[in-house]
Structure formats: structure tokens, C-alpha cells
Structure 1
Amino acid sequence: MSAIVLVCWSIAFGTWLTLNLSEQSVWDRSLRESAKIALASLPSDFDRLLADAALADRTRNPGVPAAVDKEWDIGLQVWVNGRKILRTPSAPAAALKPDFVEGFADQSIEGQVWRVYDLADATGKVHVQVGKSPRQRADTMLHAAGIATAATLALIALPGLAIWWVTRWSFAPIDDLRRTMAMRKALDLAPLPAGHVPVEVQPLIESFNALLRQLEGAVENERRFIADAAHELRTPLAVLLAQVQVVLNADDAAEKNRAARQLAAGVERSARLSEQLLDLARLDAGNHASERTVLDLSELVALVVRDFENSARQRRQSIVLEIQATPIHANVDDIGILFRNLLDNALRYGNDGGCVDISCRRARHDGTQYVRLSVRDDGPGVPVGERARMFQRFHRVAGSRVSGSGIGLSLVERIAHAHGASIDVGAGLRGTGLEIAIRFPVHAPEAAE
């Protein structure tokens, strides 16, 4: 806006300067024409004019109203043989051009510079002198400056008012949105209407609505997690409390030891449930795609297997491991959660003294290469009709002899899909049990570069 004002004032100043420069030629032209008209209007018998003493130094015509005399903006004098016979009220008493030389000149009269012009007749006896005083010139320039100033103010005010009106009209829908948002409740995350806002602002509203949808999803995940955690932890905690009471009230050492072992198993199940709930909350908070890196899946598998060797030894289970170097692009923590849940399920649902078979290798299907991670057990397996539902959160297979939370496989599915992997479900070892295989895209080094 400051730039606009500066431009307008520059235009006004330029206009005033142009008028000032051009006014000189306008004045000269008006002085010359006035002198010509005055000379042409004089009578030819100048001797009678000289003899008539009453005409000497006449300043006004008695027949002309006094108000008209005040409107003169040019001083005019008529001289005959060096004698002044007529002048206007605006003209000084002294000669405007004392040298009586025809033409223009800047003459100092009574301390002021006049622009004067002298015109003589053919005989050289009659001289008509006209001039403009500085006051008359200043009045003209002030008038021109007033016009230029008014025009400038109009140039500033009219566009300013137009801009103000258009701005208010354009942003009225945004003001409505602001008022709507101010009236909303704290957790009202419904999208903002974008139909009536200016086209230029719609991308901003759409981005804000996308942020609201993400925030709504995060809030919903938090609510669901709190509800799930409260529901899932209520029963294990009650069981632990009951087992503690049994330990405290046991009469002999054998009964106390048996109750203590049950208490330890209950604590282990509660710890595992808590860990899975925390993993679930972590996944709900985001997929951590920005934290993904290239990792060798076989090394991670071998590391996790070592962590479960003690649990397998307690039930006399063996783990058969077949791995090869298999680089993938993934989040190491998420893939660790995925494989730990697969292996934990296989060991818990497998038979005592049984076997869990794990393979991690490259494979090819229909010309597409991928990394296949497979975990097979020899447990009771899952009926074919239940296999599609077993990845649902908190779903438990009916009739299972092993208690579980129903969270582990839902974590496996979410992590696999977040990494662009697919899941295959089939029969386990010796035609029984269950096999779950994850197919990961192979990391391409040239694509990463």
C-alpha cells in the first residue's frame, strides 16, 4: 500500500511540475493575445485621446461594474507617445516595460518579478503592455495544484476503498469459518467446509482438513487403546490377585510352590500382554516410515531366535533355522515385533517336545523375486474357516487350549502391510499345525541410490 501511495504522489508531483513548465508558454500566449485584442480595440484618432485630459491614467471604464474590475488576472496598460492613457486595476502605475521594446521580458516592479509583453502599432506611437504578477501566477499554480491533489486523493481513496471492499467480501467465508471453529467443542474434529471459500484458500483448508483427519485418527486410536487395555488387563490382574491370595494362604510348602509357579506364569502372561499393548499403541502412533533402513532379515531372525531358546528348552522344543542373507528396507523395531509374535505363537501353540521350523530366504514367483520369512509349528493349527479372522484384533480361536490376548497376529498383519509385504497362511509340520509366511519386497540397492 505504501508503494501505491508513493506512486500516486509521484504522479501528482510530476503533473504539477509539468504544469509549472508549460504554464510559462500558456501565459506568454495569453499575454500576446490580450495585447493584440486591446490594440485592435483602440480608436485611430489618438490626437483626440491625448487632448482629452480626462482620459489620462484612466484605471477603469465608468460603465463597467466594479465587481468586474476585480476579476482581472492580467495587468494592462495603454501608452500613446510615452503617455499612459489607460490601465486596468490590476496593473501598476509605473510602466510594465519601461524601455517600450516590443516582446517578452521578466520585469522587476515594486520588488516583484512580472512577466510582461509589449506590443506597438504600425506608427510606433501606441504601445499596449500586458503582464502577470507573481500573485496572479501563484493563484494559477495553486489552483492547478489543488486539482492535482484532489485527483491524487481520488486515485488513492477509490482503489483503497475498492480493495478494502473486495478483501472484506473475499474473506467473509474465512471469518465464518473462524467463528465456527471458535464455537466448536474441544474434541470436535469434523472437517471444515471448503465450498464457499476463495479458490486460492481452498488448498489451505484441504490441508487443514487432512491434518484434522490425522488428528482424529490419532485420538480414536488412543481412545480405542485405553478401552482395549482396560478390558484386557482387568481379568489378568484379577487372576494375579487371586493367585497371590492362594500363595499367602497355602498351608504346606508343596501347595505354596505350586501356587507360586501359577503366579509366575500369570505374571509372565500379564507382562506379555502389556508388551503387546504397548507395541499396539506404538503402531497406532505411526508407521515410522522415516526410520526405515536397509537390514539383513536373516541376522534379525537369528538374534530373536536366541532370545527364545530358553523358553523352547523348558518345553523340550527344538527350533530348526534355515536362513540366508536377505536384505530388506524396513524398520528394525517393527520387524522385530512381527517376528517375535510369530515365534512366540509357534512355541506356545506347538506341542511339548515338538519342533518349530523357521526359514528366511530369497524366492521367486511369476518372475518376481521376494524375501520369504516362514514360521511353521506342529500344534493343533487353525481351521481353514478361522484363518481369515485370526488376524483381527482380540480374536481368539474357539476351543484353543492355550490362552492368548488375540493381539499378536493383528500386530503381524499391520506391520507386514505397512512394509508392503503379503501374508500366506497354510498347514504346518507333518500336515498339522500352522504355517505363516511373510513375503517382503527385495531391497534394490540401485533404487536406494
Structure 2
Amino acid sequence: MSSRASLQKSLGIGLTLGVTLLWLMGVIASGLVAQHEMNEVFDSALEETAQRILPLAVTDILNRENRASNLRAPALKEHDEYLTYLVRDGEGNLLLQSHDANPGDFRSHPSEGFSNTPSHRIYGVSAVSETIYLEIAEPLAHRREAALEAGVALLLPLFLLIPVSFLGVWWIVRFTLRQVVEFQKSIESRGAGDLSPVATDRLPVEFEPIATAVNQLLERLHRALESERSFTANSAHELRTPLATALAKVQRLKGQMDGDPLKKTVIQIEDALRSLSTLSGKLLELAKAEGGGAIAQNPQNLVPILEMVVKDFASQAQGRIVLSLPDNAVDSFLDPDTFAILVRNLIENAIKHGDPAQLIEISMHDNGTLKVCNGGGIVSPAQLDLLRNRFVRSTTGASGSGLGLAIADAIAKGAGMTLHLRSPARERQDGFEAEINLRNRQ
């Protein structure tokens, strides 16, 4: 699996996580501020309540005939108290308490001001020359519950905002990078032989240098391929013409030398020129195969080309070739001229090195698979691996340059295809088979 991530995905996830993190930090900060403000409000409520209750409690205590009576204030009805209070003297003796107060929640000795116990927040105030103390207690759990509810109230919108933010960020990123995605698809969808400039309209400024560099590279590659094709064509003409002229003159000289002892030497020169002409043609084919021009800009139907090439070999094979063609067209991005060179070399290899008494089977299927199969001896696995190299031939007495399969393999690699060589051939005990799929590209 590739470790590279999509730019849209990275930006979408990164921005969403960033927004979410900022929201969380904002919620935490808001929660802390809210908690501080609530503590101030609760403390103010404790102080205000104490100021309201203290005069009433002092009046009640001073008007008693017996201070030890009515220590618990009566409740009008049953209810839960968040605030409870005690009224004590300076020595800590209980004078009055709210109906639900627990003396254990308070400090052992009363004092003025705010203080905390493990479970309560306490506020104390005194009266009558600090002889009567009123203390009000509020459970800390009540404050924590209020802070938690405030925090939850701040967090709840975040669960809705996270997916909304993700969708919004994703849409903005996708909308912003739409031209970059189109640029990517335009490059991916074009064939390997399409060297036309890529569109740079409305690309973001950051990507314009990339598109410009790609177009410059495509232009240089196009010029290099055109130069290679021109050189190959010119070289073929410049080499073949002098060789053909020299060969014709030697043949004419040979015809005029009946009985001459030098005729044998002239025949050897003729054979050498003929071999040199064949070798030069193969070298030019190899140069074309390795020149990068194996791919066409548009797919072409290769069935008629195969049929035409096979007809050219009809006289050489003397009825040995059995051709099987598909009913439908086989379209491929392989350049038609390059395909003709590929097929020609495979057929020449089968004619030269196959058993003359056996048929040469050539077949093309609808899925684009081309097979050339001939009878003959079995090529060892060690030799089979070397046949793709230049000037390498198997143990055979047939003439040849050892370039046919090297040319075919170079064409296959240049087109992003794979040439399979087998010996013995499939479903046979002997022979040799070459197979390539003209549609499957790596």
C-alpha cells in the first residue's frame, strides 16, 4: 500500500482536526471562566444569604427565654437544602441550625470569612460583638455539578459542529483544488504516446510552475522522438541504398564471370553484402524499438496489420503458417509500424529456427493476446533467459543475427507490455512459443 496521501485528504483531515482542537481549547477556556464566574456568584449568594439570615437568627436567639430550646429551625415543608447553616457562640456552642444541617460538615470553631472543608464551602459572619456566629455551608458537589452541566452545555454543540466543519472544510478544499484534480486526471487519462501540452487554465499559482515544467518536458521529449524517428528513417535510406547498389553491382559482376576462378570470391562478397544489409536493417529496427516511439496517441486496430504481415511471409513459409484471427477488432495503443516490426521478427524467428516439417501457428484473440508458436527442439531454461539479449542465439544451424527476439522484447518493454517466451510450447511436448498481450500495459 502506498504511503503517499492525497492532498485533499490531508488538508481536509488536518483542517478539521485543527478546527476541532481549537474548539476544544475554546470550550476548556470557556468552562474555566464559567466555573470561576459561577464560584463568584455562589460565594456572593452565600454572603447575601448570611446577611439576610443573621439579623433574624440574632433576634430569635436574644428573645428566647431559654437559649437551649428550639435549636433546630422548623421547616415549612420537606425539601432538600443546598444551603445549610449553624448559629454558634464564640466557644462553638450550638444556638440554632437549619432543619437539614449536619454539624459535622462545619468547622469545629466558628470564624468569619470563606473557608473550605473536604465537602463544603463555608462562609461565616458574626454579630453582637463577635458573641454570635452564623455559618452557611454549600456542598462542593453542587458546584461541581453546575460546572459539569455548563461544560456539557458547551460541548454538546461541538458534536454537531465537528461533522459540519468536516463537510465544510472538505467542500472548500475540494472546490479550491478542483483545477488541480482536473490537471491530475488529464495527465493520468492520456496515453503514453500523447505528448500534447497539458492544460494550465485556472491552475492555482503554486501549481503553474509544475504545469509549465511538464509541458516543457513533453515538448523536449516530442522533439527527441521526432529526431530519433527522422534519424532512423534517414539512416535506413542512406544505408540500404548504397548496400543495394553494391549488391547489384556484385551480382552483375558475378554474372559476367563464368568460369573465372575469382567467381567464388565474388559470391562470398555477395553473401557478405546480403548479410550486412540484413544486419543493418535489424539494427535500425532495434534503434526504433528502443527509441521510445512504441506507443501511439490513439488506439489502432491491429488485426489487419497482422494479416498483412503474415501474407508477406506466405512465399517463404510455403504453406506452413496457420493464422487464426478474432471476429472483432483488437484495439491497442501499440504503434502500428512498431507492431509490424514486432510480428515480423517473431515470425522470422519461427521460420528460421522452427522445424520445417511442422506448422507455425499464429493466433490473435479478442482479449488482445498474440501467440506465435512453432515446432522444433526444446530450448533449455538457461538459454531461454538469454534469448532476449542482443546477438544471442540458441544452438541452431540456421542463419541469423541474434537480434529478432531482442527487438521484440525491446518493443514490448517500450510499450509497457511483457513478452513471454516458452519452450516447450503450451499443450505441446516440444517447440517454442512467444506470447504478448497487446492491451495489458504495466
Shorter-normalised TM range:
0.3 to 0.5
TM-score by length of 1: 0.45
The higher radius of gyration belongs to 1
TM-score by length of 2: 0.45
